[in-house]
Amino acid sequence: MSTVQVDTPGGSYPIHIAAGRLDSLAQSIPADATAIALVTNPTVYGHYGERATKALAQTGKRVLRIELPDGEAHKDWPTLNLVFDALLQNRLDRKAVIVALGGGVVGDMGGFAAACYMRGIRFVQVPTTLLAQVDSSVGGKTGINHPLGKNMIGAFYQPISVEIDTDVLATLPAREIAAGLAEVIKYGLIIDAEFFAWCEQHVEALRALDPQAITYAIQRSCELKAYVVSQDERESGLRAILNFGHTFGHAIEAGLGYGQWLHGEAVGCGMVQAAELSALTLGLPPASVARVRALTAAIGCPIQPPDLGTPRWIELMQVDKKTEGGQLRFVLLPEIGQARFEAAPLEALRRVLDQAAVAQV
Amino acid sequence: MSTVQVDTPGGSYPIHIAAGRLDSLAQSIPADATAIALVTNPTVYGHYGERATKALAQTGKRVLRIELPDGEAHKDWPTLNLVFDALLQNRLDRKAVIVALGGGVVGDMGGFAAACYMRGIRFVQVPTTLLAQVDSSVGGKTGINHPLGKNMIGAFYQPISVEIDTDVLATLPAREIAAGLAEVIKYGLIIDAEFFAWCEQHVEALRALDPQAITYAIQRSCELKAYVVSQDERESGLRAILNFGHTFGHAIEAGLGYGQWLHGEAVGCGMVQAAELSALTLGLPPASVARVRALTAAIGCPIQPPDLGTPRWIELMQVDKKTEGGQLRFVLLPEIGQARFEAAPLEALRRVLDQAAVAQV
């Protein structure tokens, strides 16, 4: 088993990565827990619910199952409230533990429910998608969407541990693997050029879920994200670079309606756009932009942005949390493996967005 | 101006107490704030909204007014969402500051909105009721009610400062003053016998809002609460004693329906019941119980609990956050000025509750 330790002012916790880790979930539950709430969705429960429940039952504690409807479209208040209803109806107290078994949506909602229930109870993340394993389970971001913007309501709240079972990737659709790999290569692009090159060399092994390759990719991604988060838990500085590709990506998701593209797909496409913007503003070499485009395509992500129309693109990006005093800011690359968070001239942004529309015609 | 400094792991902040403090609100807004959202209710806005707005406008920043419907009955998700709607519609970013101008409900909701908006923005508390000044504005408890329980959804989230203007108490109804004084004498009962005796001696001056007496009472209450909170921000130990009278009080509020009794009135009555339970379990002398009853009545609080019926009382108390593994726990007094948090025998509890019903007949 690999362990990555995450240290933040809000709490320290381990990430355990191992094939078959699901069967050892009892180890993640503190002895003084009064009950366990397993928050999941029907799809994940169908695959892994019984195994997880059996593992958790080894603690001898009550395991309450809470199934949420599947998908980003349900990452909202009414669905979150289903968790609160269940917790209160079953009288779980503040020493209960939430176990969030599922992808990013389940993790974000299970974590936010834990952050808010009785002003905060403990929770364990068990991410079952590649995207959640390498991204949303690390760093304590939890929350829900608002009709006017994604992830607008939430909390920074750390789990007591993250339990990653690499076996569960076997049941993921290919699109989900591609979406997860987009975040993997993102870490290389913003902070570790060597890891980016390693991904280029192992792209076929990664797509085929070769155990050794995928385990290393998850571990390295968690290490890199843990490093960034430990420097800056509350996103006042360095952490912002993790949003590379996300300002474009969030606009794609909001513009097409949540759930049309997977989050990772939108980020993958957004990374290509952010690389193009980096070329115009920071002089990222054309050959590097080509590498970003080629690897994004090779992992199976779309690289052609939808034609939302430039004014709509800009409007959607303005509501993003990364605006400050109304000015649009982006994570941009001076070169592969380095990132900066700064305002981009509107002129350059328009050129990137106009190009997208032209390409589509 | 008096200043009480509060230090917790989640943040340090000052409480400023002064007559006319409202006119100096601009001093509480950080220079890098991008906008100010004034969260209040129509009643408070009618009295103090223009003065507060004028004071905040001295910063030169945009002041957005967000009025929430008045009262505990609206301390719920749909009302909280009005704040999020307004913040997003007006594109306030994560460097905006919320100023919560009002009583406990506005403070709890404004604070919780600040805790959740974009995963946390800064907020300033401007409590305008005596209860909020001495209790809910200190310690970082924020949140909303759920149909199955009071304050079940929330966060520990500290303001950047608390601004207390003692002049605003002049427009409060007498019931609100009594409710606030209940929390004032609570601090004496749980931690400072001398302050309790001072309250007994100055009860008429306090009810009449004598400036010197009320200022000292607010300052001493904030000091005592700040001391407790600084020892234990997240209520794992000492902080629990602040809930003296609250387990009974919450049952009264939930049993009669929120808004029938003021929170402080319910707590006042609950303190008398908790003193009676303390006599049965910890040997609190009958003379001390009589002092609690006498002072609670003298400040103008009801001391006769409603006849909910013993089974309903117990059911309501079981959903309270202070249960652990299903066992009922109470803050109890071995003597005036000392408190312990412990389980009470059901037999003794029944005697207290049955007495209440008998007294009513």
Q: Do the Cβ atoms of A334 and A340 come closer than 8 Å?
A: yes
Q: Do the Cβ atoms of A319 and A149 come closer than 8 Å?
A: yes
Domain ranges in chain A with CATH number 3.40.50.1970: 2-170
ipTM of the complex in this document: 0.83
CA distance A35 to A63: 6
Q: Is A335 helix (H, G, I), strand (E, B) or coil?
A: coil
B358 min Cα distance to partner chain A (Å): 30
Catalytic-residue membership of B263 = yes
A142 to chain B: nearest residue by CA? B119
pLDDT digits (tens, 9 = 90+) for B273-305: 999 999 999 999 999 999 999 999 999 999 999
CB contact under 8 A, A93 and B319: no
CA distance B354 to A189: 70
H/E segment holding residue A279: helix A263-282
Which spans in chain B are helix H?
42-44, 50-57, 77-89, 104-116, 130-131, 174-191, 193-201, 203-207, 211-231, 246-256, 263-282, 286-298, 310-318, 346-360
* CA-closest candidate to residue A79, choices A133, A16, A143, A35: A143
pLDDT digits (tens, 9 = 90+) for B95-122: 999 999 999 899 999 999 999 999 999 9
Report the 10 Å Cβ neighbour count for A336: 22
Chain B residues within 8 angstroms (CB to CB) of chain A: 34, 77, 81, 84-85, 88-89, 91, 93-95, 115-120, 141-143, 146, 148-149, 151-156, 234-235, 318-319, 321, 323-326
CB contact under 8 A, A325 and B95: yes
| Cα separation values, A329 from A233, A332, B62, Å | 20, 9, 22
Catalytic-residue membership of A204 = no
B233 to chain A: nearest residue by CA? A119
Q: Is A293 helix (H, G, I), strand (E, B) or coil?
A: helix
* CA-closest candidate to residue B162, choices B201, B117, B104, B212: B104
Both structure tokens of A348? 């350059």
B206 min Cα distance to partner chain A (Å): 33
CA distance B261 to B248: 13
Q: Do the Cβ atoms of A267 and A174 come closer than 8 Å?
A: no
Residue A361 has a pLDDT of: 43
Q: Is residue B361 scored above 60 in pLDDT?
A: no
CB contact under 8 A, A89 and B155: no
CA distance A189 to A201: 15
Question: DSSP of A211-260, one letter per residue?
Answer: HHHHHHHHHHHHHHHHHHHHH-TTSSSGGGGGGTTHHHHHHHHHHH-TTS
B305 min Cα distance to partner chain A (Å): 25
CB contact under 8 A, A324 and B94: yes
pLDDT digits (tens, 9 = 90+) for B10-64: 788 999 999 999 999 999 999 999 999 999 999 999 999 999 999 999 999 999 9
CA distance B301 to A275: 67
Residue A72 annotated in ligand binding:
yes
* CA-closest candidate to residue A341, choices A219, A238, A209: A238
Q: Is residue B357 scored above 70 in pLDDT?
A: no
Name the catalytic one among B122, B186, B220, B225.
Answer: B225
Report the 10 Å Cβ neighbour count for B231: 12
Chain B residues inside the 8 Å CB shell of A143? 116, 119
The topology (CATH level 3) of A2-170 is Rossmann fold (3.40.50)
Q: Do the Cβ atoms of B48 and B167 come closer than 8 Å?
A: no
Catalytic-residue membership of B146 = no
User: Hey, of A12, A80, A91, A93, which one would you mutate to test binding to chain B, going by the most B CBs within 10 A of its CB?
Assistant: A93
Q: Do the Cβ atoms of A60 and A35 come closer than 8 Å?
A: no
Catalytic-residue membership of A16 = no
Q: Indicate the pairing of strand B97-102 with strand B149-156.
A: unpaired
Q: Indicate the pairing of strand B329-332 with strand B141-146.
A: unpaired
Residue B252 has a pLDDT of: 95
Within 13 Å, how many C-alpha atoms sit on residue A115's CB side? 29
CB contact under 8 A, A94 and B143: no
B199 min Cα distance to partner chain A (Å): 32
B38 min Cα distance to partner chain A (Å): 18
Chain A residues inside the 8 Å CB shell of B116? 143, 153-155
Catalytic-residue membership of B119 = yes
CA distance B260 to B272: 19
Question: DSSP of B185-200, one letter per residue?
Answer: HHHHHHH-HHHHHHHH
Name the catalytic one among B67, B163, B223, B235.
Answer: B235
**pLDDT tens over chain A, length 361 residues:** 889 998 877 788 999 999 999 999 999 999 999 999 999 999 999 999 999 999 999 999 999 999 999 988 899 999 999 999 999 999 999 999 999 999 989 999 999 999 999 999 999 999 999 999 998 777 889 999 999 988 999 999 999 999 999 999 999 999 999 999 999 999 999 999 999 999 999 999 999 999 889 999 999 999 999 888 888 766 667 888 999 999 999 999 989 987 789 889 999 999 999 999 999 999 999 999 999 999 999 999 999 999 999 999 999 988 765 566 667 899 999 999 999 998 999 899 999 998 766 655 4
Residue type, B275: A
Catalytic-residue membership of B253 = no
Q: Do the Cβ atoms of A36 and A64 come closer than 8 Å?
A: yes
Both structure tokens of B332? 């109890």
H/E segment holding residue B90: none
Q: Do the Cβ atoms of A305 and A293 come closer than 8 Å?
A: no
Average pLDDT value over all residues in chain B: 92
Residue type, A217: A
Residue A10 has a pLDDT of: 74
Look up tokens 């704040």; give the residue. B83
Name the catalytic one among B122, B186, B220, B239.
Answer: B239
Residue B319 has a pLDDT of: 72
CA distance A304 to A278: 17
Q: Do the Cβ atoms of A48 and A22 come closer than 8 Å?
A: yes
Comparing B124 with B73, which gets the higher pLDDT? B124
A33 min Cα distance to partner chain B (Å): 9
| Cα separation values, A303 from A176, A293, A339, Å | 16, 7, 20
CA distance B55 to B21: 10
Domain ranges in chain B with CATH number 3.40.50.1970: 2-171
Both structure tokens of B193? 């016998």
* CA-closest candidate to residue B158, choices B343, B45, B9: B9
A86 min Cα distance to partner chain B (Å): 10
Chain B residues inside the 8 Å CB shell of A95? 324-325
Check the CA dihedral A224-A230-A234-A238 and report its sign: negative
CB contact under 8 A, B91 and A115: no
CA distance A153 to A155: 7
Q: Is residue B359 scored above 90 in pLDDT?
A: no
Chain A residues within 8 angstroms (CB to CB) of chain B: 34, 77, 81, 84-85, 88-89, 91, 93-95, 115-120, 141-143, 146, 148-149, 151-156, 234-235, 318-319, 321, 323-326
Q: Which of B84, B155, B325 sits opposite A120 (nearest CB)?
A: B155
CB contact under 8 A, A84 and B319: no
Residue A233 has a pLDDT of: 60
Q: Do the Cβ atoms of A273 and A304 come closer than 8 Å?
A: no
Q: Is residue B2 scored above 90 in pLDDT?
A: no
In chain B, % of residues over pLDDT 90: 78
CB contact under 8 A, B153 and A120: no
* CA-closest candidate to residue B232, choices B221, B243, B245: B243
Catalytic-residue membership of B95 = no
Average pLDDT value over all residues in chain A: 92
Residue A108 has a pLDDT of: 96
CA distance A322 to A314: 13
| Residue B17 phi, psi dihedral angles, 5° rounding | -120, 120
Domain ranges in chain B with CATH number 1.20.1090.10: 174-360
Residue B91, classified by CB atoms within 10 Å of its CB into exposed (0-12), middle (13-18) or buried (19+), is middle
pLDDT digits (tens, 9 = 90+) for A169-209: 999 999 999 999 999 999 999 999 999 999 999 999 999 99
Class of domain A174-360: mainly alpha
Residue A70 annotated in ligand binding:
yes
Q: Is B5 helix (H, G, I), strand (E, B) or coil?
A: strand
pLDDT digits (tens, 9 = 90+) for B62-81: 999 999 999 888 999 999 99
Report the 10 Å Cβ neighbour count for A283: 11
Look up tokens 């913040």; give the residue. B87
User: Hey, of B32, B36, B93, which one would you mutate to test binding to chain A, going by the most A CBs within 10 A of its CB?
Assistant: B93
Q: Is residue B7 scored above 60 in pLDDT?
A: yes
Both structure tokens of B181? 């004084």
* CA-closest candidate to residue A134, choices A69, A195, A49: A195
Both structure tokens of A270? 């957004």
Q: Which residues contact B50 (CB under 8 A, 6 or more apart)?
A: none
Looking only at Cα atoms, what is the longest distance across chain B? 62
Q: Do the Cβ atoms of A105 and A71 come closer than 8 Å?
A: yes
Please state the rounded mean pLDDT for residues B146-170.
93
**A/B interface, count of CB pairs below 8 Å:** 99
Residue B210 annotated in ligand binding:
no
The topology (CATH level 3) of B2-171 is Rossmann fold (3.40.50)
